[in-house]
Amino acid sequence: MINQKLAHLFYQLAEYLEMNEVAFKPQAYLRVALNIENMPEDLEEIYRQKGAGGLKDLPGIGQGIAEKIEEFIKTGRIGELEKLRRQTPVDIEALTKIEGIGPKTIRTLYKELGVKNVADLEKAAKSQKIRQLEGFGAKTEENILSAVRFSRQDADRFLLGFIWPAVEEVKNKLAKVPGVRRVEVAGSLRRRQETVGDIDLLAVSSQPQKLIDFFTSLPNVEKIYGQGQTKANVRLDWGIDADLRVVPPKSFGAALQYFTGNKDHNIALRKIAIQRGYKLNEYGVFALGAKKEENLVTGESEKDIYNFLGLQYLPPEARENTGEIELAQANKFPRLVGYGDVLGDLQMHTRWSDGAYSILEMAQAAKKLGRQYILITDHAGRLEIAGGLKEADLQKQMVEIETADKKISGLKILKGAEVDIDKDGRLHIDDATLSRLDIVLGSIHSGFKINKQEMTRRVCQAMQSPHLDVWAHPSGRLLQRREGYQVDWGEIFRAAKKTNTAIEINAYPERLDLSWPKVKDAIAAGVKLTIGTDSHSIDHLKYLDLGVSVARRGWAAKKDILNCLSWQDLLKYFRK
C-alpha cells in the first residue's frame, strides 16, 4: 500500500506551508494526511480499478487531493511539495523530529541563522546564536541540544509497531515457497523490543537454494550484501537490513533461541551448559566425548533446550537476563499474560476530539478484532489542539455512546474521557460530569519541563481525585522523539497503590508507555495496570498486542492487567 508514503508527503506539505505562513491549507493537508494514513483501502488499487474518480468517492478526498494522489502514483512525486522544497531548502522532516522544533520555529531559524538541517541547528545552539533571537533564550538552547542528543540515540532503528506488519508480510511470502516447512522471526522483533535495528528470519526447507533465491528477488530488496546456499543478507528499501538463514530441523530450536537473544541472556545459558558439562551454540546442545568430539544431545525445539538445562521455558519477551533465568531454575517464573487474555481496549478517540471515525465505527471495528468491550476516551479539558471536550460536549457524547451501544451486539461501549491534569494536579472537568463516566483517564500534555519534585507532586495530587481511575501514558515519552518528564517513581507507585489508581500501558507504537522495566516496578509495588491502544483510527486498534508485549516484557500476569476482567467486573473494581 502506498497510503503511508502519501500520508507522509501530505504531512510534509502541511509543514512547509505552515513554515511559509500560508493560511488554512496546512490544516487541510494535515486532515488529509491523517485520513489517508488511517484509511484501510489501498489508494493505488482503487486508482487502478476506478481512476481518479474512484479516489474522489472516498471520504475526505476532493478533486485537488485526488489529482495529487494520481500524480504521485504516476510519477512518484508531488509537484507542489517539490516546489516548496526548492524554495525553502531545509530538511523539515529531520528538524521537526527534534522535540520543541515546529515549522514556525524552523522558519525563524532558517531566516535569521540559515539553519537547514539538524547539524546546522546543533551548531547554532552550541555557538549560542539562538539565544540572541527574539523569543528564544539560553534555556531554549539547552533544550534544543538535549533534544538533538536524544534524537540520535535510536536514529538507525525502527519502531516495533510500524515495522512488524511489513516483516510479517515477508514471512508469510517465504512460508508459501515450495519446500518450506517453517519460517520464524527472531532477534529483537521476536523479543518485542520497542525499536528494531535489523531483521532476522529463520527457516526450515527441503529446497534451501530455492528459498534463498526467492528472498533475494523480493521487490523490497534494494541491495544484496551476500548470498549462499543457506544464507542471505540484504538491504530492504525500508532502510533496514534483513538476514535469512535456512537451518536443518534438528538445529532449528537452537538457532531460534540463539538468534532471538538477547546477548546477555544467551551468555548466561551457555555458562549453565558449561557448568553441566555441555556446549550450547546455534546448532544445539552438545555432549563432549573423551576425544573432544561433539555429540548432539538436543536442538530441535527451544523448550527442549531450556528443559535440558534445568529451566522452565522462558518466553522470548522475557529474555533480558534481568533475573528470569534464576526464577526459571527455581521453577518460579510467572505465567505471563497471554495475547488473548485482554478482553477490552481502554483508550481510544473518535471524531468527537481528534479521532478519524465515529463511536459506532470504532466499536464495529473493535468487535471484528474480537474485543468484548471498548472505552471511549476522547480528550477533555483544555487541550484545544486535540479538540478537548467541555462538560456540555461530554454530556452529549454520553447520549451518543448509549445510542451506539444499543445498536451493536456482542460488544459493550463504555463511557470515558482522557482528561487533562493541570500543573496543580487538578482534572479539567467538573466532578459532576466525571461522576457520570464509567472510567476516567487522566494525562499530562503540557508543562513537561517542570522539575522532578513538582511533577511528582502534580501526579500524586491528581491521584487524590476520587474520579481518576487510570493515569494514562504515564511518562509522556515519545520513542525517538521525546524522553518524557521526570518523576519519583517510588512515590508515584505508593500513591497509586494507596488511592487504587491504575496505571496505563499505552500500546501506541510511538509511546509503549509505561516502559517494561517500570511495569516490573509497578507490579512489585502492587499497582494494577490497564492496556489501551490510544487509537485515533480503526487501523490503530490492532496495536493492543503491542501493549500486551510490554506487559509480558515486564513479567505481568493476567491478574495484574485490569482489562483481562469482564467489563462488568472491571466497573465493579473501579466503583469499589
- In this structure, the strands spanning 502-506 and 412-420 are unpaired
* 390 shares a domain with 275: no
Asked whether the beta carbons of 241 and 216 are under 8 A apart, the reply is no
* 74 shares a domain with 99: yes
Site of grid cell 495530587:
461
pLDDT surpasses 90 at 25: no
* 40 shares a domain with 136: yes
C-alpha cell at 281: 551454540
Using CA atoms, how far apart are residues 536 and 343, in angstroms rounded to an integer?
19
Question: Pick from 189, 196, 159: which is nearest to 507 by CA?
Answer: 159
* 538 shares a domain with 422: yes
Which CATH number characterizes residue 304's domain? 3.30.210.10
pLDDT surpasses 90 at 356: no
* 184 shares a domain with 146: no
Reported confidence tier of residue 179, pLDDT bands at 50, 70, 90: very high
Question: Is there a domain that residue 334 lies in?
Answer: no
* 95 shares a domain with 194: no
pTM listed for this prediction? 0.86
500 three-state secondary structure: coil
Using CA atoms, how far apart are residues 300 and 303, in angstroms rounded to an integer?
9
Question: Is there a domain that residue 251 lies in?
Answer: no
Name the residue range of residue 310's domain.
259-329
pLDDT at 88: 87
Question: Pick from 210, 158, 152, 216: which is nearest to 187 by CA?
Answer: 158
pLDDT at 290: 64
Q: Please name the residues in contact with 172: beta carbons below 8 A apart, sequence gap of 6 or more.
A: none
The 3 state secondary structure assigned to 233-274 is: EEEECCCEEEEEEECCHHHHHHHHHHHHCCHHHHHHHHHHHH
Question: Is there a domain that residue 253 lies in?
Answer: no
* 275 shares a domain with 239: no
Question: Is there a domain that residue 34 lies in?
Answer: yes
Q: Please name the residues in contact with 434: beta carbons below 8 A apart, sequence gap of 6 or more.
A: 417, 419, 427, 440, 467
Question: Is there a domain that residue 389 lies in?
Answer: yes
Question: Is there a domain that residue 338 lies in?
Answer: no
* 164 shares a domain with 146: no
Which CATH number characterizes residue 36's domain? 1.10.150.110
Asked whether the beta carbons of 145 and 121 are under 8 A apart, the reply is no
pLDDT at 388: 85
207 three-state secondary structure: coil
Which CATH number characterizes residue 531's domain? 3.20.20.140
Question: Is there a domain that residue 428 lies in?
Answer: yes
- The dihedral of CA 432, 435, 436, 442: what is its sign? positive
Averaged pLDDT of the chain: 93
* 495 shares a domain with 361: yes
Question: Pick from 228, 230, 279, 282: which is nearest to 256 by CA?
Answer: 282
pLDDT at 26: 83
Which CATH number characterizes residue 214's domain? 3.30.460.10
Question: Is there a domain that residue 419 lies in?
Answer: yes
> What does the pLDDT look like over 367-398, one tens digit per residue?
999 999 999 999 998 766 566 899 999 999 99
**431/97: higher pLDDT:** 431
Residue that terminates a domain, selected from 223, 246, 269: 246
* 241 shares a domain with 313: no
pLDDT at 18: 87
* 450 shares a domain with 405: yes
**Mean pLDDT, to the nearest integer, of 81-109?**
88
Using CA atoms, how far apart are residues 245 and 230, in angstroms rounded to an integer?
6
Alpha-carbon Rg for the chain in angstroms: 26
Using CA atoms, how far apart are residues 167 and 185, in angstroms rounded to an integer?
8
**300: buried, middle or exposed (CB in 10 Å: 19+, 13-18, 0-12)?**
middle
Residue that terminates a domain, selected from 151, 182, 198: 151
Asked whether the beta carbons of 518 and 304 are under 8 A apart, the reply is no
* 378 shares a domain with 423: yes
C-alpha cell at 51: 481512476
pLDDT at 135: 86
Residue that terminates a domain, selected from 151, 176, 208: 151
Domain count along the chain: 4
Using CA atoms, how far apart are residues 92 and 55, in angstroms rounded to an integer?
28
pLDDT surpasses 90 at 62: no
**Mean pLDDT, to the nearest integer, of 253-281?**
97
